[in-house]
Amino acid sequence: MIEEEMLYQKMCDWRHYLHQYPEVSYEEYKTSEWLQKKIREFGGFDIIKIGETSFIATIYGKKEGSKDVIAFRTDIDALPVKEETGLPYASLSDGVMHACGHDFHMSMLLGLASWLSDNQDQFSNAIKLVFQSAEEVPPGGAKEIVASGFLDDVSHIYGFHVFPGHQVGHIGIASGPITASQDIIELEIKGKGSHGATPELGVDPILVGAEIISSIHHIVSRNISAFDSAVISFGEFHAGDIFNIIPDKAVIRGNVRTTNKQVRQLIEERITQVIEGVCLANNATFKLNYTKGYGPVINDKFTTQIAYDTVKENLDEKYIFTNPQKMVSEDFSEYGKKIPSCFMILGGGLAEDGYEYMNHHPKFYLEESLMKNGVSTYINLVKKHSQL
């Protein structure tokens, strides 16, 4: 218990440092250097850099048993968000914040690395720790790591993502789709400007855009089965500068989230048809950029069962919830395309206990003690695989 508490205190210290010095996607140079320095201080790891800031740290167990290669992954990037938590260790990088919990993810993987370095006689496998850049911005850092070939020998890969809305330290585990795909809609509508008093002389792109958005929102309710998951949301609508002038263009941006390929394709087709039809009916033209983002994370059944059994045996079944699915997107999906994977959700607190702000919010904050069950699960997965 003393060793576990000491490791937890170290993880808290590491997280506070990482939280103070966040770096956005593809620019995590100091973060990567600091993480590599820590790994070297632990000892026993071979480090391979991939791209500018990603790296893999490998260590080999000395116990008799399975020699399968097992991987664990963390993301290392932050978001362009101005922090409003008021924490004593709040971000010192103006306009940048670990608002998605990647500081928790990194600290737990460092905790596992520390344990692995001190306990090589307690596991038999080769363990690869994946420190990945740019989860937040497509195409994402996972694709580059998978393409490097340095994970080709991996038998199973695991990862966590922290979220509010679940009890502290409770772990969501399920096979099948865990997160959604995300595609990005960028639409420019070209109309014809006019005075606000003479709309009949123009083509109003605001009205056309509003009709397009309204019609697109009918796609899920009238084209998709209630047993499938899909979400369409729009976050930007820009048009005009003056209240009494009809502008000549409007720009709309949104996103589409689904959990299977058929629904994903159908929604893309229907969105295109809606835009074409509404613009044609209103004498407007358009330019559509429909970008395919990350695919859904799909957990492997066997790997997920290993994780479930590990948590049940070492914590308690009461800590497991089996409906962890989220309509967020995650490039952990790239690993699952090649490697049997299990991506787990780790609870950081309920709204009624003060943890009311969702990931990406400037006041996002979770209960730090969630890391105890996170790192414990990682360590016990290592031990479990030595017995398989």
Q: What is the pLDDT of residue 125?
A: 97
- The answer to whether residues 256 and 320 belong to one domain is no
The count of domains in the chain is 2
- The answer to whether residues 236 and 106 belong to one domain is no
Q: What is the pLDDT of residue 1?
A: 66
| 234/231 Cα distance (integer angstroms) | 10
- The answer to whether residues 48 and 132 belong to one domain is yes
- Is 360 annotated as belonging to a binding site? yes
- CATH number of the domain where residue 219 is located: 3.30.70.360
Q: What is the mean pLDDT of the chain?
A: 97
**Residue 388: pLDDT over 90:** no
256 is written with which tokens? 């589409």
Find, among 193, 111, 88, 214, the residue nearest to 160 by Cα.
Answer: 111
DSSP 346: E
Point out the domain boundary residue: 265, 293, 321.
Answer: 293
Q: What is the pLDDT of residue 258?
A: 97
User: SS3 sequence, 15-27?
Assistant: HHHHHHCCCECCC
Find, among 356, 23, 304, the residue nearest to 156 by Cα.
Answer: 304
| 53/134 Cα distance (integer angstroms) | 9
Cβ contacts of 287 within 8 Å, gap of 6 or more: 187, 188, 190
Point out the domain boundary residue: 245, 275, 293.
Answer: 293
Q: What is the arithmetic mean of pLDDT over 94-114? A: 98
Point out the domain boundary residue: 293, 321, 352.
Answer: 293
- The answer to whether residues 62 and 127 belong to one domain is yes
Print burial letters for 40-77: b (CB count within 10 Å at least 16), e (below 16): eebebbeeeebbebbbbbbbbbeeeebeebbbbbbbbb
| 260/199 Cα distance (integer angstroms) | 43
- CATH number of the domain where residue 336 is located: 3.40.630.10
Q: What is the arithmetic mean of pLDDT over 350-372? A: 97
What are the tens digits of pLDDT across the range 133-189? 999 999 999 999 999 999 999 999 999 999 999 999 999 999 999 999 999 999 999
| 35/316 Cα distance (integer angstroms) | 32
227 is written with which tokens? 């047993």
**Residue 14: pLDDT over 70:** yes
Q: How far from 86 is each of 4, 20, 228, CA to CA, in Å?
A: 29, 12, 40
| 25/77 Cα distance (integer angstroms) | 5
- Is 100 annotated as belonging to a binding site? yes
Q: What is the pLDDT of residue 316?
A: 87
Q: What is the arithmetic mean of pLDDT over 343-350? A: 98
* Radius of gyration for the alpha carbons in the chain, expressed in angstroms and rounded: 23
What are the tens digits of pLDDT across the range 291-302? 999 999 999 999
| 329/161 Cα distance (integer angstroms) | 11
- The answer to whether residues 186 and 134 belong to one domain is no
Q: What is the pLDDT of residue 131?
A: 98
Q: Which residue has the tokens 């020699």?
A: 67
User: Above pLDDT 70, what percent of the chain?
Assistant: 99
Q: What is the pLDDT of residue 368?
A: 97
- The answer to whether residues 145 and 284 belong to one domain is no
Q: What is the pLDDT of residue 141?
A: 98
Q: What is the pLDDT of residue 35?
A: 98
Q: Which domain holds residue 382?
A: 1-179+296-386
The whole-angstrom distance between residue 230's C-alpha and the CA centroid of its chain comes to 18
- The answer to whether residues 223 and 93 belong to one domain is no
pTM summary value: 0.94
Strands 245-246 and 194-195, sheet pairing = antiparallel
Phi first, then psi: give them for residue 383, nearest 5 degrees: -65, -40
- The answer to whether residues 185 and 168 belong to one domain is no
- The answer to whether residues 103 and 167 belong to one domain is yes
- The answer to whether residues 274 and 311 belong to one domain is no
- Is 161 annotated as belonging to a binding site? yes
What are the tens digits of pLDDT across the range 238-287? 999 999 999 999 999 999 999 999 999 999 999 999 999 999 999 999 99
- The answer to whether residues 365 and 338 belong to one domain is yes
For residues 343 and 349, the answer to whether their CB atoms sit within 8 Å is no
- The answer to whether residues 118 and 199 belong to one domain is no
